[in-house]
Amino acid sequence: MKEALQIIKNLKGGQYAPIYFLQGEEPYYIDLISNYIEQNALDASAKGFNQIILYGKDVGVNDILGNAKRFPMMSDRQVVIVKEAQNIPDLGKEAGEKPLLHYLEHPLPSTILVFCYKHKKLDQRKALYKSLEKHAVLLTSGKLYENQIPEWIRGYFSQKEFKITDKSVFMLAEFIGNNLERLSNEIDKMLINFKEKIEINDHHIQKYIGISKEYNAFELQKAVAYKEIMKANKIINYFEANPKNNPVIPIISLLYSFFSKLLLGHSATDKSDGNLARVLKINRFFIRDYMAAMKNYPVQKVVGVIHDLRHADLQSKGVNASNLPDGQILKELIFKIMH
pLDDT tens, position by position, 171-212: 888 778 788 998 999 999 999 999 999 999 988 988 888 777
SS3 assignment, position 164: strand
Task: Provide the β-strand partners of residue 52.
Answer: 80
CATH top class, domain 2-140 = alpha beta
The residues spanned by each domain of the chain are 2-140, 146-208, 217-338
CA-closest candidate to residue 26, choices 92, 117, 101: 117
Enter the DSSP assignment of 72.
P
Whole-prediction pTM value? 0.71
- Give the Cα separation of 218 and 289 in Å (integer): 11
**CA–CA dist 302, 304 (Å, integer):** 5
Are residues 134 and 128 in contact, defined by beta-carbon separation less than 8 angstroms?
no
Q: CA-CA distance, 80 to 239, in Å (whole number)?
A: 48
Q: 284 pairs with which residues across the strands?
A: none
Q: So what CATH class is 217-338?
A: mainly alpha
Measured CA to CA, the distance from residue 308 to residue 337 in angstroms comes to 8
Q: Which of 43, 42, 53 is nearest to 78 (CA)?
A: 42
For residues 301 and 311, give the distance between their C-alpha atoms in angstroms, rounded to a whole number. Answer: 15
The DSSP secondary structure of 260-286, one letter per residue, reads HHHHHHHH-S---HHHHHHHHT--GGG
pLDDT tens for the chain, 339 residues long, are 789 999 999 999 999 999 999 999 999 999 999 999 999 999 999 999 999 999 999 999 999 999 999 999 999 999 999 999 999 999 989 889 999 999 999 999 999 999 999 999 999 999 999 999 999 999 999 988 877 888 899 999 999 999 999 888 888 887 787 889 989 999 999 999 999 999 999 889 888 887 777 788 888 999 999 999 999 999 999 888 888 878 888 899 889 999 999 999 999 999 898 898 888 888 777 889 999 999 999 999 999 999 999 999 998 887 765 677 888 999 999 999 999
Query: Do residues 337 and 236 touch, judged by C-beta distance below 8 A?
Result: no
Does the CA dihedral 83-38-31-124 come out positive or negative?
positive
**Do you know the residue count of the chain?**
339
Nearest CA-CA partner of 248 in 232, 236, 264, 260: 236
Specify whether domain 146-208 bears CATH 3.40.50.970: no
Q: Work out the burial of residue 12: count CB atoms within 10 Å of its CB; fewer than 13 is exposed, 13-18 middle, 19 or more buried.
A: exposed
What is d(CA 331, CA 339) in angstroms, rounded to the nearest whole number? 12
